[in-house]
Homo-oligomer: A and B are copies of this chain.
Amino acid sequence: MKEPVLDRRIVKTKKALRDALTSLMKEKTFDEITVSDLTVRADINRGTFYLHYRDKYDLLQQSEEEILAGVQKIRSKKKKMLKKEDLPVFDFMNKPLPLVAELFEYLQEHAEFMTVILGPRGNPAFHVKLKEVMSSTMAQSILARLGEDQEELIVPIDYLSSYAISAQLGVIQHWLNTGMKESPMEVSLILSRLIFSNPVTLYKHPKT
């Protein structure tokens, strides 16, 4: 699926440009960033940029797709996914959901890019794409199974999905924006508790 080019110069140039993009997005909005900005920061000739990317959007897209492919890869580890019959016995309050910890580890590895792309200067289209990838995986798949007999649900299943996925992304964003103080394991557990609780059951000793 991929391996055609491996010339050191190409690899070096592309990496320099991607790093420059991440670096510049900490300072400016994407649309304020010019190709000149990128090549100056990357210490690359401007013409060279066009040898590898059509324009700055192409650079952004390729960077995004690389990350999304990584998330997809985690997602597709089906062995670790919960099955319907596990649901009643799985201890959501004390064990993080199987694939979620891996996801946070991956995010941590790519923290710089993830933080800017999901931040205030980021790309909302990336949010959408990430949600799409996440919606076919993780706790989402559990929620979907929960809603298999949709007639029984008191809210439309699509609203339940949107709600749950956005919530998960919210936790991811908060974790990134606060400097990833918790370990991937810890934040996974927090997420698991949030998903499978409601405001009342979030207490150690429920009052009602």
Contact = CB atoms under 8 A, between A and B. Distances in A.
Contact of A162 (B122, B127, B164, B174): B174
Interface of A: 29-32, 88, 93, 119-125, 127-128, 142-143, 146, 152-156, 158-160, 162-167, 169-171, 173-174, 178, 187, 190-191, 193-205, 208
A205 to B, nearest CB: 7
A90 B158 CA distance: 26
Give the number of times this chain occurs in the complex, counting copies. Answer: 2
21 contacts: A29-B31, A120-B128, A142-B199, A152-B204, A153-B204, A154-B193, A154-B197, A155-B190, A155-B194, A156-B190, A158-B178, A159-B187, A162-B174, A163-B170, A163-B171, A163-B194, A164-B167, A195-B199, A196-B198, A196-B200, A198-B198
A171 B162 contact: yes
A123 B121 CA distance: 8
A49 to B, nearest CB: 17
B199 A143 contact: yes
A155 B193 contact: yes
Contacts of A158: 174, 178
B165 A170 contact: yes
A69 to B, nearest CB: 19
